[in-house]
Chain A
Amino acid sequence: MHELSIAMGIVDAALDESQRRGVQVSAVHLRLGALSGVVKGALMFSYEVACQDTPLQGSRLIVEDVPVIIFCPQCQKERQLPSLQLFACPECSAPTIDVRQGKELEVFALEIEQETKQEVEVPEEEVQG
């Protein structure tokens, strides 16, 4: 179980962002890919532990499950994978290893209660998941 170290990484990232922006965080929104290798239940439990004695204590972790999207070489289309047990196009059954989404482990957004200074505009650039 490596979810505690992942949870500590989430807390570090959220604390860093909240301090940079001078805001207090009430919830952390996480995008969690089905191929990230992280177990949601264990992560939720670990998050509480990781938050202890930090300014994030009492905050919530809100997890958005991100499904695996593959690119089908036959259909030339992106499709959602129904099962991790079969890496093939759900429409035409062509096997594929071209994974376009599903490895995400990303602190996506922070829910903030109050602002102590003007929020800084952050460019919307894609971060490698």
Chain B
Amino acid sequence: MSGPRLVEVRRNVLKQNDVIAGVLRNQFRAAGVFVVSLVSSPGSGKTTFLEKTLTQLQPRYRVAALVGDLATENDAVRLARSKAPVKQITTGTLCHLEAAMVQSALQDWNLDSLDFLFIENVGNLVCPSSYDLGENLRLVLMSVTEGEDKPLKYPTIFNSADVAVVTKNELADAVEFDWDAARKSIHSVRPGMQIFRLSAKTGEGMEDYLNFLSQQLVGHRAVARI
């Protein structure tokens, strides 16, 4: 036989990642731990937000965090102030976390002893959207200083998220942040998505968001028991 011929193969390029993510998701369910991944652009205040989340959940829950960072361990050092167990995943030049990195970082952790695990992705609104990490909830964070149309510029990641948090609300007036426009652009790319508007710095609005997480944990465990 000669000349080119087409052979159908149908192979999902990210299958390996998806398989590992599936394994992780089963582990999380069996352990009863609710896993939240955080995605945002660099400088949106992800680490401050996570530090406050860990600190404020701690009196009631057992919490831990994995932090993806390109080169430094600064984020892990900052988060360690919350006294929660924190582990750094240094990605080198890689712009996103993959399920295998999460799996290997969790190897010596006992998931049964946790209520919440947070996975802070590398600051990037493009690449992380392609990779399932086995998380139960993907939280996209944007700050009021980034502009109301951020979701329209990065529709893929906002569309892939389950909940949005608009942070640095203490700066909203200074930057003339248009809340209605922001909400409209978030709902344009992800209709109906729940949005929390808060200030991690002052604590304003944190309570609603933390209550939401508590409810998610209850729901997660109720489903896991079935």
Contacts and interface: CB of A to CB of B under 8 A. Distances in A.
Given A87-B189, A88-B191, A115-B1, A2 B130 contact: yes
B225 interface: no
Interface string A1-39: 110011001100110110001010011011000011111
A9 B152 contact: no
B104 interface: no
Interface stretch (B4-12, B48-56, B203-211, B215-223): B4-12
B226 interface: no
B143 to A, nearest CB: 21
B156 A113 contact: no
Contact of A122 (B9, B15, B155, B159): B9
B94 interface: yes
Contacts, number: 122
11 contacts: A2-B94, A6-B130, A13-B9, A37-B156, A38-B130, A85-B189, A95-B187, A106-B13, A111-B6, A124-B8, A128-B18
A76 B118 CA distance: 38
A13 B9 CA distance: 9
Contacts of A119: 7
The DSSP consensus for interface residues of chain B is mixed
Interface residues of B, number: 35
Given A84-B156, A105-B13, A95 B130 contact: no
Given A6-B14, A26-B4, 18 more contacts: A1-B127, A6-B130, A13-B9, A14-B9, A14-B11, A16-B11, A17-B11, A23-B7, A29-B6, A37-B127, A85-B155, A85-B189, A99-B159, A105-B12, A107-B11, A109-B9, A113-B4, A124-B10
A112 interface: yes
A80 B188 CA distance: 16
Q: Could you say which of B1, B2, B14, B18 has the most chain A C-beta atoms within 10 Å of its C-beta?
A: B14
Interface size class of A (residues with CB under 8 A): 35 or more
The DSSP consensus for interface residues of chain A is mixed
Nearest to A88: B191
B198 interface: no
Contacts of A127: 10-12, 15
A108 interface: yes
A105 B15 CA distance: 10
Interface string A87-121: 11000000111010000011111111111000100
A49 interface: no
Given A37-B156, A87-B188, A111 B9 contact: no
A49 to B, nearest CB: 14
A37 B14 CA distance: 12
Interface in B148-163: 152, 155-157, 159-160
Contact of A111 (B4, B130, B152): B4
Given A37-B129, A84-B189, A109 B7 contact: yes
Interface string B169-213: 000000000000000000111111000000000000000000000
A55 interface: no
A118 B199 CA distance: 64
